[in-house]
Structure formats: structure tokens, C-alpha cells
Amino acid sequence: MKLEIRKLGPIVEGSVRFGDLTVLVGPQATGKSIALQLLKLLIDTGAVQAELRRYGLDWNGQAAELLDAYFGEGMRGIWNAKATSVRWNGSDIDIDAIARRSRKEKSEELFLIPAQRVLAMRDGWPRPFSDYSPGDPFAVRDFSERLRRLVENEFTSERLFPQERRLKAAFRKLLLRNVFGDYELRIDRVRSQKRLVLVSTQGGEALPNMVWSAGQREFIPLLLGLYWLMPPTKISRRGHLHWVVIEELEMGLHPHAVNIVLLMVLELVSRGYRVCLSTHSPQVLEMAWALKNLKEAGATGDALLRVFGVAPDETLRRVGNNALKKDVSVHYFHGDSGKVHDISTLDPSADRPFEAGWGGLTDFSERANTEVATAVASKGR
């Protein structure tokens, strides 16, 4: 699976090869989100068009208006009719043809959890698609609408977390220790208005959305997205979904909590989803590096779990063993050149500085190590 792009927004040239787990790194405004949202549009063209029309958005067969409706107001400028070219799995993409013709609506194949997921909650409840401005990105509106459907249609219990039929016990225990503490996520009512609140298991007042920690506000929409992807049935995936995109999963989270989310990402991979991440966290690439090298060394899942600092049980051992069979791909979006580079080797001794430095994510620690070592050596003379 390969997405090839030339002159799309900040992306001058490059291709992304998608593995079972794909990680995109690079500075802000280098095109990572554009590439991932484009992937969603190409895979789910019919579903996207149908959803836009369902909520009254009409692009009049014009590519520029479709780009604004999908990527967000003002984004039509990312596509230059004379210069931009996109190929998906070897086929040229004609954005004008996509805009002119309505594709037959098919079941959604890709679920995207956007970086702006915190916007999905208003007064502690997921916002409907129509609650947003027509100029807001489709990815945010669509994600928010899915969460609203989930909490309104699939939960009969007031307690959303922890809940035995949602997530395996191993993940629930880790999340309680590293994210929720002694709090539960519940559905509360203020008069006739539903809202999500945190309630201490020791008693006390319900805590509304605005007094949650920043990490909890970032994590709870992500948790609900994971609920959507892990249905409480014997079926491992939801409907016809085959792809999962999560942007900046680390936002607002302590490294211990990031560990747990990464384990849950590996659970998604083991369920058969093809997962794509964008990140600014070296911790995510450390996981990718460990996966690559442990796989080459023929290690077991228990070795991978020790990297995460968790005790193995049946669930986690299965996740670890499955993860070590998967293909990991890493790509760097270069801010200065606008090019996309495959850095999947994650080789610290690579000739290319951006590859050796993991897309800039290890530059600070390398400089700190160098300067401290130099200072210590000078003092000892």
C-alpha cells in the first residue's frame, strides 16, 4: 500500500509505504495531517461524500469547494491543478473527477481519530456533526459524531469506564492506575441534559469536563474512539473497518499513560487493523525501534512487554507475540525540503542526520549527552 504525493500543500515530494503499523514524524505544518486526511478521502470517498451531503454540504461538483468542505475552510489552496499529483496504489487520482461524480456509498473502511479530538466534547458530551461550523474539517466533525452515536446508542449503563464488556481486564487495570486513579467515567444528568463526569470510587461530587486534568480531557475522547474500534462481541473489528488513523496520541499524557495507549495500539494491530500514527513523541519511535530489533532477534512477546514495564498475562502476551510478527513503517516529513523520507530502519548510525536523529525527536537528548560528557571530561583534566 503506497501513497505518492507531489506538490500538495507543504509536501513537495514523497511517498508513504503503509505497513501493519505506520508512523509519521516531522515538525508541525509539514503535511502529516493532510496526508492522513487525504488517505481517508481516497479510501472512503463514497462514505465521505454521503456524510457531507447528509448534513447539507454541497460542493457543486467543484474540486475547490470539495477541498474546503473536507479539509476545512481555506484549504482549497493545497491542491494546484497544474502541479499537484497524487497516486494511490499505482493509480493516478483525479480530484476533479472525485468532485464531479458521486461515488456509491460503501461501508466506511478507515476510522480517523484527529489531533483536535478534545474539541469533540462540549459541556462534557460529544458534539453532533451539525454542531460545528461548515468550514471545520470533516475529520473532526465525523469523529465527534461517531462518539455521540456511541454514547447515546450503545451504553445502557451509567458507568462508561471501567466496564467489563469494554476493553480487556489487563487494559482496564493499567488505565485505572495510570490515567483514572480512583475515578470512574460516568453518564450524569443535569436536569434533562446528559454529560460525562468523573466520580471518585471513594464518594464525593461528580467532576464535570472543565475540571478534569488536561490529560483526562485529551484521553477520554481517545478512549471512546478505542471503544468504537473494539466492539464488545466475538468479532474483533467493527463492521468493515480495516484502517485506523490516530493523530498525536501522546497529547497531554504522562509517559506511563502513553505506554498503555501504545499497548492498545498494538491490540488494534493484533485485531487485524492497519494502524497509522502521527507523532511528536520519541517514545512512539522507541516502541517502533524495539519492535523492529526484537523481531530481528527472534524475541518473544514477553521481552516486548518488559519494554513497556508491564507484567505479562494471557491478553498482553498475545498482543506482544502478534506485534512481533507485524511490519512497521516510519516516514519523516522534512520541513525544509518538503520531502517525505522513509526512515524505517531507525538506525542511529545512519548517514542521513534526520534518519539517525529519528526525524529530530532525539536531537535534544543527543546534544545534552554531548555537552554533559564534554563538560565532565573538561572538569576531570
Domains and CATH numbers, the chain: 2-338+345-354 (3.40.50)
How large is the angle between the packed helices 301-308 and 314-323, nearest 10 degrees?
110
Residue-level pLDDT at 269: 96
Compute the C-alpha angle 26/222/312, nearest 5°. Answer: 90
> Cell numbers 466506511 label which residue?
108
- Secondary structure of 12-27 in HEC code, one letter for each residue: EEEEEECCCEEEEECC
Residue-level pLDDT at 236: 80
Residue-level pLDDT at 342: 96
Residue-level pLDDT at 231: 81
Residue-level pLDDT at 237: 82
What is the value of pTM for the model shown? 0.94
Q: Which helix (H) or strand (E) holds 8?
A: strand 2-8
Residue-level pLDDT at 221: 96
Please report the DSSP string for 79-113 in residue order.
B-TTT-EEEETTEE--HHHHHHSPPPP----EEEE
CA 7 to chain CA centroid, nearest Å: 24
Residue-level pLDDT at 164: 83
pLDDT beneath 50, residues of the chain: none
Residue-level pLDDT at 381: 67
